[in-house]
Structure 1
Amino acid sequence: MKHIYLFTFLLISLFGFSQEPAGYYDSATGTGFELKSQLKAIINNTNDGLDTEYLHNAQDYSAMDAFIADNDLDVYDSYENDNSILDVYSENPSGTDPYNFTPVTNECGNYSSEGDCYNKEHVIPKSVFDDAMPMYSDGHNLLPTDGRVNGFRSNYPFGVVDDNQLVSQSGISNPTMNGSKLGGNLNSGISAGYTGTVFEPIDEFKGDIARIYFYFATRYEDQIDAWGAFDMFDGSNNNVFAEPFLAILLNWHNNDPVSQKEIDRNNALFTYQNNRNPFIDHPEFVAQIWNNTTDTEAPSAPSNLAASNPTDNSVDLNWNASTDNVAVTVYDIYIDGVYAFSNATTNATATSLSPNTTYCFTVKAKDAAGNESVGSNEVCETTTNNGSSGGEDLFFSEYIEGGGNNKALEIANFTGVTIDDLSMYTLKLSSNGNSGWTATYSFPANAQINQGDVYVIANGSATICSSEYDDLNNTITGFNGNDAIGLFKNDVLIDIIGTLGDDSTFAQNTTLVRKSTVSGPSTTFDLNEWDSYAQDTCDDLGSHTQTLGTTEFTSNTIKIYPNPVSGNTLNIDTNKTFDYSIYNILGKQVLKGISKTGTIMVQNLPQGIYILKLNIEGQSVTKKLVKK
């Protein structure tokens, strides 16, 4: 029995403070701003007559140095687990960190560039509360950060950066080495309504930042209205946050759930200063406070919808933002009256369209409560019919997964025109079979790709074919041979290497070069479209050849009937054997096969609009298909 008692004691010692003490939140029974005030009474430094009181015990500002050295460490298998300082402005969650800080040893100090040293950042700038205590030394608001990036962020609000308005400063890249960035706020979607300069951390830590702000608004709710002006605050003690910053913080909180890092830090801070961040312990409190009122008001309709830049397979769309009593969170795009896809900003690109086909578009706005506006004006546009000479979009043309950091991606342009604005394109990485995208790359300002040319992005430590590199980025090239990489246009996937959510190895220690017969991008990865070469082969890097040739097979000469089809059989007017793929309007493949009879069985295809892609003797033909 003594052994049992000893084991029980050890469990209590190890896990007794792995979460809030029993009864800590018993008095938090309300909703809305009443709940916020109840939480303040739990975490503040006054005796509020609670059954059990834990008073915030403010520490000296300099004491946080030792706390950070002991508790803000990378001890997580999801990162490097190397006991370096876990800095939200230098951590690369999907690859090798650009640099590391040793606790105490690399503490600032003077700095002039990224990676020189780390110091403490006030997440809510200290100028807001005029360096007053206890806000100044509150550990929940102090994070270890790269000194230069801390200075770069300065006291700017957090927001969503427009990549076309990046700020330039000496001694630092923008985006920074881990992808954080400073620039003009993206005045669109959830961030519409503010045009000043903002700082945007990487997705991995956006929820961390949001929950610090919610803590601060709660802990100091009776003081905030007396502080100096800050664009993120509305001057009130209850709501605290001005728009669009409340919408941004809510979005970050919802899309980046509480991590083990936050839980561990919250527990350590409770031991250190005797109070907790309630929104880490109970993330649901955020919605109960700031989304408490029942919202039944729909946004206004998007206006001035316009279509432009048609290609064989895509049409660009843009419109004026809707307004809402809370905030618009997303726009739904309809094609020929059928829902197609959603977008957070006021511009989008409809892809996977058929050549020489007229499409009609409408857009509806939706808020966080699911209220949807009436439709925008309808606009119609006809896609081009340029065939093999142009009209396809950008696509991946080479992939190098070589020795060490010899990693590179090549994107080719055979659209028929120079793409002189790459701001609408991004690359995204999904590591280790993750079902979502874990890192995003944006092209530098003013980057372009001439018709028939390529753009090469390489790891900053790569040692092969360096003369061919157009940009260096360690985040997007932090892939191994089992990680998916997507090419996006206006945040819609148009091409992919690997399969999202599948960590099976497809190209380890290998160079892949897209075959010259491939005409454009595909949202389904097919290794048969690539030629494989040995590790560190980069003879073809920096250029790409496309030899599609010309044949009788075009969108006009190959007929499909009946279309619309209501029966079981779709007929293809050819005596050639062909393989086929059918995609829904979201670009997901729903049917594929090979036909030797000129027919495709579509009896299991639900009603709707589809894209039919035929491959006949090495040539591709795309058609719009309607199933009734």
Structure 2
Amino acid sequence: MKKLLFPAILISSFISAQAPAGYYDGTTGLTGYALKSKVHDIISQKNVNWHYDDLPNLYNQTDLDKYYDHDATNTTYLLDIYSERPAGPDAYEYTSGQMTSGAGAEGLGYNREHMIPQSTFSTNSDISDYPMYSDLNFLVPVDARINQLRNNYPYGVGGGTNFYIFSNTSRMSNSAIPGYPYTGRVYEPINEFKGDIARTLLYFVVRYEGKLGSFNTAYSTSSTITPSTDQCPFDGTEERAVDLPYIEMLKQWNTLDPVSQRETERNNAIYTIQKNRNPFIDHPEWINMIWSETPDSVAPSAPGSLTSTQQNANFINLNWTAPSDTDILGYRIYVNGAATPSAVTKNTSISIDHLNPSSTYTFTVKAFDKGYLESPFSNTVTASTSASDAFAKDLMIVKYIEGTSNNKAIEIINKTGHEVNLNNYRINIHLKRPSTGNFYAADTYELEGKVGNNESFVILNPNASLSCYSNSQARFVTASDPMTFNGENYVELAYNKTVTIDAIGTRYTTNTNGNVSLYRKNNVNQPNSTFTIGEWDSYPVNYCQNLGVLSATDLIASNKEFKIYPNPVYDDLFVSGDTQDVKTAQVLDVSGKVIYTEKDPFKNKKNISVQNLSTGFYFLKLDDKIYQFIKK
């Protein structure tokens, strides 16, 4: 028995060739946190997120031991990095069917191990948060007993007292990580897998950039650390993400244990299943390139000229000028003198949303740099929201497909008048316990990224076989609990974990939306935390016409590039403005159906004839701009 090794030069060329062509486009020339953020954008797009219960079967594609003990063509045994003996026979082995919940000794079954503990990102002990909960890139099959004893302790270099030494000489010991203030227990893997673990942990902080600040970090670098089973090495920041002494240890592990054939093939298998990759398996050199910032010890100057540029009923736009410092990472926005920021951005403008109408707010901004030093406050701006406006107060569900089997889809639209950060939104569901018939809040699915004004997105079950829509078209694809709903379940769009924004069905009761597609009526322009069936049109099972396609009412332009008149109109609709470049004019009915098209409509005139239209509401589409009018 021996590890399958390739000559170093062959390994290097083999590994570098695995990522699909163009996968890492845009990373050339980047270093530091700019590289980290770009890689985050790449690996977080278009992922397929499977259910936690799917993992045992998926391990047969990602984690078979083809490298140490068995022939690659016929093994059914899993590779357990906590118990593998690279130079000799293993003390025990598992197949994917030998999963267990607990064990009093080694060798009695395996667990699905979250290498970043679940307690770091889950809402509470009863609710697990997808996509993190089932992300194959940091979930591996390991011996149940070792997993239990590792608990939520961090990985690290051990020293002093050994509490446990396991069958392959990995151990639980007191921490001896150089320069790291934590002295509690750590799990130290054998050298063979230290690089694997380092690259996995750093995958996590890149993949979930933008969410790390909401996770349960155990302490900041300035805290007094006491031994605990929940000592997470994260420092609460989004860019650096990990305490510097811990980063240095991971860098050493990355060098000590280079990328292996096993890691490369696992990365390729996960990409096939999940559609994203661990970038540090493809590019281990990026670890040193990203965590290479050398910040100065000088705090940045304050942002200048903070102004309120727009005030609406539920949001206010702010703008400011950047200080002259060259190492600015971002800005923290404070509302009404609060001690903690209400928002963080890398830009010099932002929409502060979830405000109350007819209310007055004060705003101020601080810059922070690569050393996480903060500037003084900017000037303070006071602004008042309006009593009402034409925008939706929040995101809203516009389509709900409850089809046969796994044909489940939800479409959500942003009609708020501004870009919305999705990182604080989630889809929640109530499931029924077979034993009692009672409904309970099940695991949740967290959204991420940003959605522009008048933009919609679809969340789809990956096992769906809808005739009109596929996984590649959806922005979010997940088999998590919320996307296994049936007509009796309550499903909601929530903000900040528990604030209901929009809902399908009624809480804690059996609903009657089975085998039906619900489409929001065109005249409904606000979300509703209380489900009201009168706001929806019902269609047959598996109906999904125009899923992911905005209706004409969704696309009405807010710009003032053209003016149409008269409105209402009898015979001729005139258009004023710079119309000579308009290529196509179309008239659409209220369903979005095109009923008239004219090429180069304003080549020799300024009007569109509508005299043959019936009385009613219509839309005039001029290239990509849409305007509503009434035909008398």
TM range (shorter): 0.3 to 0.5
Q: Give the structure-2-normalised TM-score.
A: 0.40
